[in-house]
Structure 1
Amino acid sequence: MSTIRRAGAAVAALLALTALAGCTSNPVAARPTSAAPTAAASTPAPTPTTPPPTQVAADATPVSIKCRTLVPTAVVKALNPDFTVVRGWQPEDSDPSHRLADLNGTTCRWTTPAGDVLEVSVAKPSVGDGTSLKNDLVLRSQSVPTFGGEAYFQVVDHVGQADVFRGRTWVFLRSNKFFEPGDASAVVAAALKSLGYGPKPTATPTPTPTAPVTPGATPAPTAG
């Protein structure tokens, strides 16, 4: 009887080991699926990596105008009431306005205690240099028809800047308050008006004088 019990126990142990092996093995584990291929990222439009063209100072016509005349104080204060003019300002070489200073133009700057800035400069490069400037801006900037004539706007390092041309006159504006072209429109209009490019005044019609009528007089007959 004890022999039969020992044999039964051995069979039971063997079955338990077999069941345990069946639980731990994984002969049909799913293969890891590879990630679906992602679509290629769209390539952004190329932007100019070269600096703007340089102009020949000897071929430019000097421009001298007072800052408060170029942009009246009321227009500046409307942009930010804390703006004050920086007297005797000379732009550093790294400042884009330095290009107009090199052409013997006028460069103006206003600042606030909070760090806001407004720069308005005007110069008259040669015809050839002006054409090179415009051709370059076609590639690196956006045309702004609402400024009238030929004008461009772009944002560089969170600072909006506008280039406006009237004949040989080049007006350059930049400010961290310019987020879109409309933000600069009032300053652009004021500067152009000060330079003689504002809208022409409408002529007031002169009234035709009439002959006085004497009381009791018979009016002259009209032809007809």
Structure 2
Amino acid sequence: MPLASTAAGRARLRPVLTVGSLALLAVIGLSGCAAEASPSPDPSTSASAEPTAAPSTEPTAEPTETAEPGTPIALSCEELLTPQDVYDFNPNVSTDPGFAPAEGSLAAAAVADNGIACGYLHQTSGELMTFAVSQPSPEQLTLALNAAATASQPVPTYGAPPAVTGFFRVVGGAGEVQVFTPTFWLTASSTMFFEPGDADTLVRAALSHLPQ
């Protein structure tokens, strides 16, 4: 090959090599920028939810104040209503030997408060009559009187307030009597009591036998 041709070819190749080298350097430079990762957050400084502290103790209800018990009643059933008192009311009514106050009744409440409850049975009809008396604490006596005044009708024939405050109502077909003195709570219930006057003689007899 002629020498002049060779020299001319080299001269033409030199600029091409220069451009190719620049292109390669540019690619390498770009690749280096893309490979650089942004700094990852420090795990020690990343935000995390703090666990909620559990209460150390469970809340407890305040203890309820226990009602003061009533004074024990020293009377017996035959002293509260004598056999003559019962006979005068109705000759067919006499003491019920198997009597037990029904749960939730006024008679049961009297027994639970150191009182007494007495049962009487009509020998022909089988109807039951109950009388009960207790001597609650002054606070409990006032609560019972207020409850009776709200639910029942006043009965002035049982006695004059404040010495005697009487009430009457019909519950489930039975007449219910509640009588209060400044000290005692007397109650009675029977299907034989259609109205307040039906129990009048027995209520007055029982009141007369209470301790003064």
- TM above 0.5, yes or no, is yes
Specify the alignment match of 1:112 in structure 2.
Answer: 122
Note the C-alpha offset of 1:111.
0.7
Per-residue CA distance 1:165-200 (angstroms, 9 max, x = gap): 111201111111111111111001100111146xxx
Distance 1:195 1:66 in 2: 11
Deviation readout 1:72-98 (Å, 9 max, x if unpaired): 212212332222212363313143311
In proportion to residue count, which structure has more helix?
2
Deviations 1:36-58 (A, max 9, x none): xxxxxxxxxxxxxxxxxxxx664
Indicate conservation of the 8 Å contact 1:57/1:104, yes or no.
no
Query: Contact 1:109/1:120 (CA < 8 Å) preserved in 2?
Result: yes
Over aligned residue pairs, what C-alpha RMSD do you find?
1.7
- Secondary structure, aligned partner of 1:97: helix
For residue 185 of structure 2, the aligned residue among 144, 159, 170 is 170
Q: 1:101 aligns with which of 107, 111, 114?
A: 111
Unaligned 5+ segments in structure 1 are 1-55, 198-224
What TM-score, normalized to structure 2? 0.62
What letter matches 1:101 in structure 2? Answer: V
The AA in structure 2 aligned to 1:141 is S
* Residues 77 and 58 of structure 1, relative CA distance in 2, 3 Å threshold: same
| Larger-Rg structure | 2
Partner in structure 2 of residue 75 of structure 1: 85
User: For 2:177, what is the secondary structure of its paired residue?
Assistant: strand
Which of residues 149, 172, 188 in structure 2 aligns to 1:138? 149
Which letter does structure 2 place at the counterpart of 1:69?
Answer: E
Larger displacement relative to structure 2 (181-190 or 71-80): 71-80
CA distance in 1, matches of 2:84, 2:187: 19
Query: Is the 1:123–1:170 contact (alpha carbons within 8 Å) kept by the matching residues of 2?
Result: yes
- Distance, in Å, in 2 between the alignment partners of 1:83 and 1:126 is 33
Secondary structure, aligned partner of 1:93? coil
TM superposition score normalised by structure 1:
0.59
Distance in 2, Cα, partners of 1:65 & 1:90: 17
Q: 1:57 to 1:81 in 2, by over 3 A?
A: farther
- SS of the aligned residue for 2:106 comes to coil
What code does the residue aligned with 1:131 have? T
Task: Pick the aligned partner of 1:156 from 150, 156, 171.
Answer: 171
What number of residue pairs does the alignment pair up? Answer: 142
Q: Residues 88 and 104 (structure 1 numbering): CA distance in 2 closer, same or farther, change over 3 Å?
A: farther
For residue 157 of structure 2, give the secondary structure of its aligned residue in structure 1. helix
Per the alignment, residue 65 of structure 1 pairs with: 75
Q: Give, as a single letter, the amino acid of the residue that structure 1 aligns with 2:188.
A: L
Instruction: For residue 62 of structure 1, report the CA deviation from its aligned partner.
Output: 0.8
User: Closer, same or farther in 2 for the Cα pair 1:119/1:181, shift >3 Å?
Assistant: same
What is the 5 A alignment of 1:44-63? Answer: 58-63=68-73
Report Cα offsets for 1:23-47 as digits up to 9, x if no partner: xxxxxxxxxxxxxxxxxxxxxxxxx
Identity %: 32
Amino acid of the structure 1 residue aligned with 2:193: F
- 5+ residue gaps, structure 2: 1-65
